[in-house]
Amino acid sequence: MSLLRRIYKWVLHWADTPYGTPALALISFTESSFFPIPPDVLQIALSASRPKRSFFYAGVSTVASVAGAVFGWFIGYVLWSTASGFFYKYVPGITPETMAYVGKLYQDNAVLALFGAAFTPIPFKVFTIASGIFSEYISLQTLILVSLVGRSMRFFLVAACMYFFGPKMKELIEKYFEIVTFALFILIVLGFVAIKYAM
């Protein structure tokens, strides 16, 4: 935990430098495959100081995160036989059990499982790497499309809060973001279920 706390502070410090935007892109990219801290942390800090650029930061987070998702797929599809030991040992959240569980989720409903990880605080990297490992259940094209929808919804939701309500929203988002995104995800799923049974 002390290591994660130091990484968290390291991520935040970029908001006070001229390199905040490149750092946001890099963190968004790597978080989709191995980095432990979500880009929302830096996106919120940058948006708090410059609310009018909130949607720009959301765009940076989205594009870089989807590119990182493709890299995660590449790790799972091409490198997993040689790289799995490293990920199991050093990357939080990635274990043989979690990867097998995600494979089962993909077998049941790949689109819904991936969207849930892209939109909520569930570790996205687990699902991007698993998409390459279990590519028979989810294609690269599906990964890109679903990641684009889920990630943009997540990051632009943060941007909208920061743009319209300013820095005072920073503490509320950091405190309640997980609850809100999980609640919205459940509502979206219930909506799809209702449509399915109404047709």
The values of phi and psi at residue 170, to 5°, are: -55, -50
The pLDDT score that the predictor gives to residue 195 is 40
The Cα–Cα gap between 154 and 31 comes to 14
Encode pLDDT of 130-188 as tens digits. Answer: 999 999 999 999 999 999 999 999 999 999 988 988 777 667 666 665 676 666 667 65
The Cα–Cα gap between 189 and 199 comes to 16
Encode pLDDT of 79-94 as tens digits. Answer: 999 999 999 998 888 9
Residue scoring higher pLDDT (167 or 58):
58
E strands within the chain?
none
Encode pLDDT of 21-56 as tens digits. Answer: 999 999 999 999 999 888 998 998 899 889 999 999
The Cα–Cα gap between 167 and 182 comes to 23
Domain segments of the chain as ranges? 2-198
Q: What is the pTM of this model?
A: 0.85
